[in-house]
Amino acid sequence: MDAVLLSSVHWLDSIGRSLREGFFMFWETLWPLILGFGLSGAVQAFVSHEAMQRKMGDHRPLAVIRASGLGMISSSCSYAATAMAKSLFVKGADFVASLVFMFASTNLVIELGVVLVVLMGWQFAVSEFVGGVIMIVLLATLGGLWFRGKVVVAARARVTNDSGHAHGPAENAALQNEPWGRKLRSKGGWADAATYTMADLTMLRRELVIGYAVAGFLTILVPVAFWNTVFLHGHGFWTSAENVVVGPFIAIISFVCSIGNVPLAAALWKGGISFGGVVSFIFADLITLPLLLIYRRYYGTRLMMRMLALFWAVMAIAGLITEGIFRAAGLVPKVHRTLIAPDHFSWNYTTYLNFVFLVLFGVLYWAYRNRERLGGGEGTALDPVCGMQVEKASAPASTEHAGAQVYFCSDRCRLRYEGDPARFASDKTDPSVPSPTPSSTTSPGANR
């Protein structure tokens, strides 16, 4: 009986320490999260990308650069990036160019780099951007050979039929086309920026919670001996080669995507994975199992399998090349961190910055809640499921309900809404859309 009691106490203590580790990882990266998402929201609100969407009809260098730029100023949420890539493809963008947009949207964004600097070190942040460029070059080069012919034609017909031809009202880009001085003085513009910030955080809250929690458990409960059996050690080049291949596999089965995989990357780095393995693991947020199922629904099984094969290869090769570059430059950290986050609060620069940015977050939240009063929200709507702000003209999904159009960031949210519209009758819904009632109808061609 005493042994059982002691065992229970031990497990409870381990769970408590794991949750504490996850929380302090979050605490260490709180101000970078707010800063990164805030900057991302401002970019999305003030930088026009409508013209770029019209110039992605092939995967030549200029189109790839445009697709990468559009991705960099978009949401870092993997689900939203996937939906937007499909929307671009439906509108006539080259398939490879739409995939480049998707890669840039999740790997070349501000918030990812800021969080990597704080949690893992500046080398990982730089490697993410260097490796991201390498990965996009590989994707554009190899994708032109791998994604071609009947399978892509069939995928375009599939998504076009699913999406129909209904589009929302024309985008109002008046503010985005104003001079920068006028943009930055616009209350409505800053309200939109706050809404984009809150929307991205809302979209990623699940990934963030799971990411920090799982990282805490991996750090505390998984012994180093386990990682030594998963990752090769002491075999030179073959160690790096094996690690960059295994990294994406862990991403696939972890179910955590977007910025939520950074805490897991920190735990893997502590466990002994190579520098390139960490890079390829972070890249692999676009091949987690839920996203693979979305690709299958969008484009069909054959193209989804091709995407998985090429994505995995590109992510692994980019991780390996990036490690080689950083080793040659002497920039690979010599020591794997044994302490990812502190185990108690202390009055240091992190605490002070967290309090400052929590105040800033409060201001952003107030602007988000009062966006109409401040003149924001023109040409946009709020996804009633996740709260994300979407442009009506380019919303990846929409449906008609109670005589009004409702817009969504992805088919995933649309399907959840249609399954139980009454559940989402809340203040997250766009004020221009009537409150949902149990009787819901979908407009022809609106299953986007």
Band (pLDDT 50/70/90 cuts) for residue 445 is very low
Ranked by mean pLDDT, which of 44-58, 80-94, 411-425 comes out on top?
Answer: 411-425
pLDDT tier, 446 (very low <50, low <70, confident <90, very high otherwise) = very low
pLDDT confidence of residue 414: 86
Task: Provide the pLDDT for residue 285.
Answer: 86
Top pLDDT among 425 and 27 is at 27
- Residue 29 is predicted with a pLDDT of 73
Reported as a single tens digit per residue, the pLDDT across 93-118 is: 889 998 998 899 888 887 788 888 88
Residue 437: its pLDDT value, please?
39
* pLDDT range class, residue 444, cuts 50, 70, 90: very low
149 compared with 394, residue with greater pLDDT: 149
SS (H, E, C) the chain: CHHHHHHHHHHHHHHHHHHHHHHHHHHHCHHHHHHHHHHHHHHHHHCCCHHHHCCCCCCCHHHHHHHHHHHHCCCCCHHHHHHHHHHHHHCCCCHHHHHHHHHHHHHCCHHHHHHHHHHCCHHHHHHHHHHHHHHHHHHHHHHHHHCCCHHHHHHHHHHHHHHCCCCCCCCCCCCCCCCHHHHHCCHHHHHHHHHHHHHHHHHHHHHHHHHHHHHHHHHHHCCHHHHHHHCCCCCCHHHHHHHHHHHHHHHHHHCCCHHHHHHHHHHHHHHCCCHHHHHHHHHHHHHCHHHHHHHHHHHCHHHHHHHHHHHHHHHHHHHHHHHHHHHHCCCCCCCCCCCCCCCCCCCCHHHHHHHHHHHHHHHHHHHHHCCCCCCCCCCEEECCCCCCEEEHHHCCEEEEECCEEEEECCHHHHHHHHHCHHHHCCCCCCCCCCCCCCCCCCCCCCEC
What is the pLDDT averaged over residues 345-357? Answer: 85
Q: State residue 430's pLDDT score.
A: 45
The confidence band for 435, taking pLDDT boundaries of 50, 70 and 90, is very low
pTM above 0.85, yes or no: no
For 325-341, how does the pLDDT look when each residue is reduced to its tens digit (9 = 90+)?
999 999 998 877 666 66
Q: What is the pLDDT, as a whole number, of residue 50? A: 58
**Mean pLDDT, residues 345-364:** 88
72-81, 237-246, 248-257, 405-414: the lowest-pLDDT one: 72-81
Q: What does the pLDDT read at residue 171?
A: 36
Please tell me the least confidently modeled range out of 188-202, 298-312, 319-333, 340-354.
340-354
202 has pLDDT over 80? no
Of the listed ranges 190-194, 353-357, 431-435, the least confidently predicted one is 431-435
> Does residue 292 carry a pLDDT above 60?
yes
pLDDT of residue 83: 72
Band the pLDDT of 6: cuts 50, 70, 90.
low
Residue 306 has pLDDT above 50, yes or no: yes
